[in-house]
Structure 1
Amino acid sequence: MPAMPENVPEPVVKLVRWTAEPAAVQILRSATAAVIAYVVAVWLLPNPAPLTAPLTALLVVQVTLYSTLTTGISRVNAVVAGVLVAVGFSALVGLSWWSLGLIIVTSLLIGRFVKAGDFEIEVAISAMLVLGVTQVAHTAWDRVFETLIGALVGLLFNALAPPVWVQSAGESIESMARRMGGLFRDIGGEVAGHLPVERAAARLHEARRLDHDIAEVDASLRQAEDSLRWNPRVREGALSRIVLRTGLDTLEICAVVLRVLSRTLTDLAKHRTTEHLFPDDVSDQLEQLMDHIAHAIESFAVLITSQVTANAQAAEDRLGQALSDSTESRDTIARLLLATVQEHPRQWQLYGALLAEVDRILDELGLEKRSERLVEELDRIGGEPSDRHPRLAMIKRRLTATGLYRHAPDVRKIFK
């Protein structure tokens, strides 16, 4: 988004930024589709207030073209089935407490029969609404036509310029990576001197809460993946999904290792109730190591979400430097801990576990590991990728031949 002039009032700036958000765009799209459906229904049908048409359009226009097409068909199927149930009941019984219960049960059963899926309840809702209106037979068919008009407008409207939610998913991934990086820095700042068990346990609980963040990011990513399916605005939607999904998988593994690392420090703090957790020289190196790892995680998140190749290259350079610095600090810590264990062998296994956990994180963030996962996902697509996905096959060959992510610029250009 371009920078705003300095003399623009703050409320105007906030309004412009809000209208650029995906949620705001979706609100405007839904409202516009509903209004268009209402106008079309008024023009085509004799009903003076065809509100079913805008209602259906509002429900059909989902956040992605893929979900619009899939849910639109199911929703129309559910509404039409409910209307037909109401037409049949109106010819036999009137509206009473027992007929209402009977029509609900019948509608829900028919909803399962016609495979309405998540919209089974709308079969009963449509039947009740139609049954409660006078002149049921005439109104019912008007409702069917209104439903078809609303669904058609919703489908066509969302097919014109289907939204792409990759940016919001990328922002969620980067935000989670920054939270992880902040937690690594907090841990690094507390290893010097005496670490109370309560404080170590508090960091462990913070690391466990990352599961909730990962679940939210995963939901945002699934929405982005749906927005790439069948989207004419995206040339290589499958490749985009692979890059983001494998990146989130890597960060999720790092979050798991972070929890284990926090548990290791907590266990170590239980045995160091009155003394320093580490010698001073080790704690200084550990603080630097945690800072380097935090930089690596944040750079990795920027790398997999960058929309401009130059930004991705800069993030890759920062990631490589952070991993190099981390490896150097890790080796220094290993030598220092070895000398410490030889002098004071208490809880030596926790020192080894700490180093193993650091090694796992550095391995997961490595560029070579990243290339391997991309190749695995490209293979997992199955079939004959050279025929079905020629561009994916080309990138896979390049990744396989070089083994380096930096030699696959097409992966970084897909968001342009």
Structure 2
Amino acid sequence: MAAHQGGRILSHGGKNLTAALLAWQATAPWGQGRPQFLAVATALLVVNTSTVHHSVTEAVRRIAVQVAGAALAIATAWWLGPTAGSVMVVLAVVLATRGRRMFDDQLQVASTALVTLAVVAAMPVRDLVLLALATAAGAVVGTAVHALILPPVYVDDSRAAVRRLARATSLLLRDMGRGLRRHQRTSYARVWLSRARQLEEEIAEVQDHVRLAENSLRWNLRCSVHGSRRPGTGGHALLVLHGISLQVRGIARTLVDTVDAPRDDFRLGSLFTDQYARTLELAGQAVEDFAEGSRAADPERADAGRRLCTALDQAQGWHDRMTGLVARGALTEPGAWHIYGSLVTDAERLLSDLDRAGTAEPMAPVTPMTKSVPNARSPRF
């Protein structure tokens, strides 16, 4: 791990040094002095962006900001001279074209224009043009180095984040199952609900990882060796886990309601809780196996795929039995039918999500999710 981290630091430092040297040499014939330093600073800024796609967009943005700011300053200085009136004109133009999405860029245009106004009296227009060209040269060099020398890919980080989310969801389901089986619902129901709500925060964090991984594959030459098949980022599994988390939170909230309600008809029978506990434990195992294993033709993952199928089948069997008991009124507390119905419905949807996602590659990119192939077995609910 330390060696890998050291290798990343060395490669990152090498990219920065290469970008700085190339930017310096590219501007040496015509821009010695300040333009060279500006080119190097721009190249380092661009080469340190998170992805190649971001590098290109950042380069284009910086060039546009520099050109727009310089052009605005030169036009106002030619019209009014480097005076307070020019400053007012610059601010008036920026405020008149103000928009929410482009406000940051407009502030930078204004800043560039004001800095240019401050030096336009002492610096010929030719030098201002050289500064703009140096910015463009640095942006081009930084983008080229970022794209050609070990462009970053964050697929491993994204897949690891998705697996952590799956393990957290699986652990919560198992803990709820064990707690129900040991008759600890009163003591732990609120803790389960709190953990279920925390899953939303974890999902938001994982979404950032997946989004960054997906973005790092765009315009990335390292991915060309894979042909048309993009490396899996875990986007498919994330969408499935997000849906499952909603059902888990619903189950936890209903269990809290059964604890808080003083009425006897909210009481759950031991037969129901024992069987429901088993369903939750099996669902927890299925969630973890779904994210850890692959249903693709991979001998090393075959065991995980079989465990997933077995867990789903057993959980489905428990579910069918419980639904039958509720339908026949065989439970000892029939007055709590709305509680039974809520719990069974949430478990039903959870299992349905896993069942439909069972044949797909869990670490596939997020975009094919909407066209994923449904399970060959038609859902039974």
TM-score, L = length of structure 1: 0.73
SS at match of 2:223: coil
SS at match of 1:343: coil
Q: C-alpha displacement at 1:243, in angstroms?
A: 7.2
* 1:123 match: 109
Contact 1:33 1:154 in 2 (8 A): no
Contact 1:34 1:53 in 2 (8 A): no
* 2:32 match: 47
Q: C-alpha displacement at 1:67, in angstroms?
A: 2.5
- RMSD over aligned CA atoms reads 4.0
Contact 1:53 1:151 in 2 (8 A): yes
Q: Matched residues in 2 for 1:303 and 1:229: separation? A: 26
What amino acid is the match of 1:253?
Answer: G
Q: Matched residues in 2 for 1:190 and 1:97: separation? A: 73
Cα distance, 1:340–1:379 mapped onto 2, change above 3 Å: closer
* 2:146 match: 158
SS at match of 1:266: helix
* 2:128 match: 140
Q: Matched residues in 1 for 2:12 and 2:115: separation? A: 26
What amino acid is the match of 2:113?
Answer: A
For residues 293-319 of structure 1, the C-alpha deviation after alignment (integer angstroms, 9 at most, x for no partner) is 22211222223699x945544432332
Cα distance, 1:229–1:377 mapped onto 2, change above 3 Å: closer
SS at match of 1:176: helix
Query: Among 63, 66, 75, which residue is 2:62 paired with?
Result: 75
Q: C-alpha displacement at 1:175, in angstroms?
A: 1.3
Cα distance, 1:304–1:171 mapped onto 2, change above 3 Å: farther
Written as runs of structure 1 = structure 2, the 5 A alignment for 1:2-401 is 14=2, 16-19=3-6, 28=13, 31-32=16-17, 34-41=19-26, 43-49=28-34, 50-61=36-47, 62-93=49-80, 99-107=86-94, 119-133=105-119, 134-160=122-148, 161-191=150-180, 192-193=182-183, 195-196=185-186, 199-235=188-224, 240=230, 244-271=234-261, 278-280=268-270, 282-303=272-293, 309-331=298-320, 333-334=322-323, 342-366=331-355, 370-371=359-360
Q: C-alpha displacement at 1:357, in angstroms?
A: 1.4
Cα distance, 1:243–1:310 mapped onto 2, change above 3 Å: farther
Contact 2:282 2:311 in 1 (8 A): yes
For residues 67-115 of structure 1, the C-alpha deviation after alignment (integer angstroms, 9 at most, x for no partner) is 2223322321121111222223343456566543432443566797xx9
SS at match of 1:366: helix
Contact 1:207 1:262 in 2 (8 A): yes
Deviates more, 1:28-37 or 1:253-262: 28-37
For residues 116-166 of structure 1, the C-alpha deviation after alignment (integer angstroms, 9 at most, x for no partner) is 786333322322333333415243112112111111112211221322221
Q: Matched residues in 1 for 2:98 and 2:26: separation? A: 26
Cα distance, 1:303–1:359 mapped onto 2, change above 3 Å: same
Cα distance, 1:155–1:99 mapped onto 2, change above 3 Å: same
SS at match of 1:162: coil
What amino acid is the match of 2:45?
Answer: L
What amino acid is the match of 2:136?
Answer: L
What amino acid is the match of 1:190?
Answer: G
Cα distance, 1:403–1:377 mapped onto 2, change above 3 Å: farther
Greater RCO between the two (CA within 8 Å, min separation 6)?
2
SS at match of 1:44: coil
Contact 2:266 2:336 in 1 (8 A): no
Q: Which ranges in structure 2 are unaligned for 5 or more consecutive residues?
A: none
Contact 1:295 1:322 in 2 (8 A): yes
What amino acid is the match of 1:119?
Answer: D
Q: C-alpha displacement at 1:345, in angstroms?
A: 1.3
For residues 270-291 of structure 1, the C-alpha deviation after alignment (integer angstroms, 9 at most, x for no partner) is 3368999645554444443323
Cα distance, 1:117–1:201 mapped onto 2, change above 3 Å: same
Deviates more, 1:316-325 or 1:240-249: 240-249
Q: C-alpha displacement at 1:170, in angstroms?
A: 0.9
Cα distance, 1:59–1:377 mapped onto 2, change above 3 Å: closer
Contact 1:289 1:326 in 2 (8 A): yes
Q: Which ranges in structure 1 are unaligned for 5 or more consecutive residues?
A: 1-12, 382-395, 405-416
What amino acid is the match of 2:197?
Answer: R
TM-score, L = length of structure 2: 0.79
